[in-house]
Structure 1
Amino acid sequence: MASEKANPPPPAYDQVDHTVSSAYPHPQTSTTVIVTGPSVGPDPTTIVCPSCRATVVTRLDYETTTRTHLCAALLCLFICWPCVCVPYLTTTCRDANHYCPNCSAFIGTYRK
């Protein structure tokens, strides 16, 4: 019984002090920030850049993927030689990488 009085129970959640004691973090502490990417599509998207905080329309760069090569291989397999370059020229068989036009930060990738 004496040990129960010496160690009081922890305070309830609503009684915990959530204030920040300093405007600057202690040099030995680390902060983890989890950022979820914005929803991007196959077209340029208006977003707020997570890096430079500017409202921008994203710049797209298309990346050739395994799916692009498979589409070209299928065209070769079915003897459509004139159409082999079509998957490399269209945007439907490639991934769309979104970048900020101000700071060139990577925003996200749209895959079909």
Structure 2
Amino acid sequence: MSNNQDKTAIIIQPEEKGDPIFQEWPVHTECPHCGSSILTSLEYEAGTLTWIMCFFLMFIGLFLGCCFIPFCLDGCKDIAHICPNCKKEVGRYYRM
């Protein structure tokens, strides 16, 4: 008489703590400057995409102030992730 039983192995892998991926939303991470566990705050800053859009709008004829519209839109700006405790930059998301 043989005892044939199905055996299932469950493998649990520990979570790896890697660098967070900085994108368009706040990130839970540990601040490398003050060591606190934080949710980053976002600051929008003009970057490469902002300037390219400005020159593109100027090129198509919107040079009477309308070419500066990308500087008013957060969707065209780079994003700096800031620690709310020590106010230092933790990471950055570049649109281009």
State the TM bucket, normalised to the shorter chain.
0.5 to 0.7
Aligned to 1:14: none
Distance in 1 (CA, whole Å) between partners of 2:81 and 2:60 is: 34
In structure 2, C-alpha distance between the alignment counterparts of 1:82 and 1:105, rounded to whole Å = 33
1:67 positional shift: 2.5
CA contact (8 A) 1:48 1:54 kept: yes
Contact 1:97 1:108 in 2 (8 A): yes
Query: What percentage of aligned pairs have identical amino acids?
Result: 30
Preserved contact between residue 38 and residue 107 of structure 1 (Cα < 8 Å): no
Higher alpha-carbon deviation: 42-51 or 79-88: 79-88
- Name which of 11, 21, 25 aligns with 1:43: 25
Deviates more, 1:60-69 or 1:90-99: 60-69
Matched, 1:87 2:95: no
Residue of structure 2 in register with 1:61 after alignment: 43
Give 5+ residue unaligned stretches, structure 1: 1-35
SS in 1 for 2:56: helix
AA at the equivalent of 2:67: V
Tell me the distance in 2 between the aligned counterparts of 1:58 and 1:44: 5
Q: How many residues align?
A: 77
Taking only aligned residues, the RMSD between alpha carbons, in angstroms, comes to 1.9
TM-score, normalisation: structure 2:
0.66
Higher Cα Rg: structure 1 or 2? Answer: 1
Name the SS of the counterpart of 2:42 in structure 1.
strand
Q: Is the CA contact 2:20–2:27 (under 8 Å) kept in the aligned structure 1?
A: no
**Match of 1:96, as an amino acid?**
I
Asked whether the 8 Å contact 2:47–2:94 carries over to 1, the reply is no
Q: Give the TM-score normalised by structure 1.
A: 0.58
Compare relative contact order (CA 8 Å, sep 6+) and give the higher one, 1 or 2.
2
The within-5 A match list for 1:88-103 is 88-103=71-86
**Cα 1:37/1:104, change in 2 over 3 Å:** farther
